[in-house]
Amino acid sequence: MEFIDPALLIYCEDHSSKEDSLLRKITRETQAKVMMPRMLSGHLQGKLLELFTKMQNPKTILEIGTYTGYSGICMARGLGKGGKLITLDINDELETMVRGFFEESGLADKIDYRLGNAMEIIPTLPGPFDMVFIDADKINYSNYYELIIDKMNPGGIILADNVLWSGKILVDKNQAVDKNTQAILDFNTMIQNDPRVENALLPIRDGVMIARKI
């Protein structure tokens, strides 16, 4: 499902700070060599992540779902002095490529890239976090949220990607839904009902939930 007229999207991209050569290279190589290149954040969302980071000025960001490093590099670019990004992914086949991109970004010293199952790694991270980007397996979105919420500083923001799930969240109450769609529906409902956060669901790309810990 297209959420926005393609011509409007092009206009938006034409009026957003340009992608640099490294981000264009990551996009090119992801499309050429990696499965499911649709998962890349892309120009508009990447710039938005960078700007959010600059506005938030976090000490510590946690990213769940590195993939080929696009979104991680965008957030790392927004970090101030002393800030760091911890980014997790279960797919070790991408490691060499991703470490190469992090080196090329000149920000490798700010990026702590860990391979493994995020459900197992997060409990070992002490926090606190000022910003979290949830973008891994949809089935675990609510679990990730429960693992991080008590480790968020007050005022910390949680961003969760793909919460409109290509529009599949629009289902009738008694319609059967697949597991991933149900997980996203449950996540969105949980955030909406959680008094610990204030939130807005932004209809950007595939939907980004932004929740700020009170």
CB 24 within 8 A of CB 92: no
Residues forming beta bridges with residue 86, ordered by sequence position: 62, 112
In the region spanning residues 90 to 149, those forming contacts with ligand SAH, defined by CB under 6 A, are: 90-91, 117-119, 135-137
Instruction: Report in angstroms how near the CB of residue 214 gets to ligand SAH at its nearest.
Output: 26
Binding residues with ligand SAH: total (CB under 6 A): 17
Instruction: Please tell me whether residue 83 binds ligand SAH under the rule CB under 6 A.
Output: no
Instruction: Please tell me whether residue 40 binds ligand SAH under the rule CB under 6 A.
Output: yes
Instruction: Please tell me whether residue 53 binds ligand SAH under the rule CB under 6 A.
Output: no
Instruction: Please tell me whether residue 67 binds ligand SAH under the rule CB under 6 A.
Output: yes
Instruction: Please tell me whether residue 88 binds ligand SAH under the rule CB under 6 A.
Output: yes
Whole-angstrom Cα Rg for the chain: 17
In the region spanning residues 144 to 173, those forming contacts with ligand SAH, defined by CB under 6 A, are: none
Instruction: Report in angstroms how near the CB of residue 82 gets to Ca ion at its nearest.
Output: 28
Gap between the Cα atoms of 50 and 74, Å rounded:
5
Instruction: Please tell me whether residue 22 binds ligand SAH under the rule CB under 6 A.
Output: no
Nearer to Ca ion, 49 or 107 (CB): 49
Residues 6 or more apart in contact with residue 150 via CB below 8 angstroms? none
Instruction: Report in angstroms how near the CB of residue 206 gets to ligand SAH at its nearest.
Output: 10
In the region spanning residues 137 to 196, those forming contacts with Ca ion, defined by CB under 5 A, are: 161-162
CB 113 within 8 A of CB 139: no
Instruction: Please tell me whether residue 63 binds Ca ion under the rule CB under 5 A.
Output: no
Instruction: Report in angstroms how near the CB of residue 44 gets to ligand SAH at its nearest.
Output: 12
In the region spanning residues 107 to 136, those forming contacts with Ca ion, defined by CB under 5 A, are: 135
Instruction: Report in angstroms how near the CB of residue 137 gets to ligand SAH at its nearest.
Output: 4
In this structure, the strands spanning 111-115 and 129-134 are unpaired
Instruction: Report in angstroms how near the CB of residue 161 gets to Ca ion at its nearest.
Output: 4
CB atoms within 10 A of CB 108: 15
Residues 6 or more apart in contact with residue 128 via CB below 8 angstroms? 60, 151, 152, 153, 156
In this structure, the strands spanning 129-134 and 60-64 are parallel
Q: Which residues of 15-46 are buried (b: 16+ CB within 10 A; e: fewer)?
A: eeeebeebbeebbeebeeebeebebbbbbbbb
Contact set with ligand SAH (CB under 6 A) = 39-41, 65, 67, 70-71, 88-91, 117-119, 135-137
Contact set with Ca ion (CB under 5 A) = 135, 161-162
